[in-house]
């Protein structure tokens, strides 16, 4: 796989392509503790979109589902039908959110001197969201939820920056602006999803519904 001449990200142009991605625990561990090398590994993989969703997005989105259910149950008991609706909404928003962010990343690639690749954009949108999903486990704990979400958001931006440099080939001087723009668009998208989720939650009498935890 060929890369740009910006070698500041430590890209190895001669690295062979690989067909298989590591398991979910290995990928999460790599992104959290060795993100630069992990993005290089991601760039060499050929992972089908379906596998990204079923093997990564859905399991981590389940954390947001459990957090949302626990938060609601601690406040007001949730009926079985209400719980099922919350599960459906949370998973739907997770999948739609990743797809929309991937479209944003791909559509803005040229502006930030990157290359268009929907497959790579989907990988960036998926894997960079890892700290956001992980931070959802703290939602039921009021004293820890805000710091955890803040740290998750900061690390999400950092992962985006690295991923956009490696996979979308955006040069160093453009990648930070690229990542910041994507984050701002993601925040707007999250607000829309939260409002939609809150409206649907009120309709089915489910309190404290959060689209992303």
* Residue 146 burial (CB count, 10 A): 13
Separation CA 29–CA 168 (nearest Å): 22
Rg of the chain (C-alpha set): 18
pLDDT 10s digit of each residue in the chain, 213 long? 333 334 345 444 334 455 567 789 999 999 999 999 999 999 999 889 999 999 999 999 888 888 877 777 766 666 777 777 778 888 888 899 999 999 999 999 999 999 999 999 999 999 999 999 999 888 788 788 889 989 999 999 999 999 999 999 999 999 999 999 999 999 999 888 877 766 665 665 544 444 444
Separation CA 71–CA 208 (nearest Å): 7
DSSP string, 15-40: PPPBS-PPPHHHHHHHHHH-HHHHHH
Count CA atoms within 13 Å of residue 205 on its CB side: 6
- Does this model's pTM top 0.75? yes
């Amino acid at each position: 796989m060929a890369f740009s001449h910006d070698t500041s990200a430590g890209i190895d142009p001669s690295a062979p392509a690989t067909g298989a991605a590591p398991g979910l625990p290995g990928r999460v561990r790599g992104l959290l503790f060795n993100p630069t090398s992990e993005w290089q590994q991601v760039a060499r993989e050929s992972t089908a979109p379906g596998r990204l969703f079923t093997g990564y997005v859905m399991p981590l989105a389940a954390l947001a589902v459990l957090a949302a259910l626990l938060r609601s149950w601690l406040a007001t008991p949730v009926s079985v039908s209400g719980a099922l609706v919350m599960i459906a909404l949370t998973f739907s928003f997770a999948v739609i959110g990743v797809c929309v962010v991937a479209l944003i990343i791909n559509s803005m690639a040229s502006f930030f001197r990157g290359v268009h690749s929907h497959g790579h954009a989907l990988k960036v949108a998926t894997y960079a969201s890892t700290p956001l999903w992980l931070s959802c486990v703290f939602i039921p704990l009021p004293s820890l939820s805000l710091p955890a979400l803040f740290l998750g958001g900061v690390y999400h931006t950092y992962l985006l920056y690295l991923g956009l440099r490696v996979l979308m080939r955006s040069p160093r001087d453009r990648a930070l602006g690229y990542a910041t723009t994507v984050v701002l668009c993601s925040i707007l998208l999250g607000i829309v999803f939260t409002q939609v989720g809150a409206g649907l939650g009120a309709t089915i009498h489910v309190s404290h519904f959060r689209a992303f935890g």
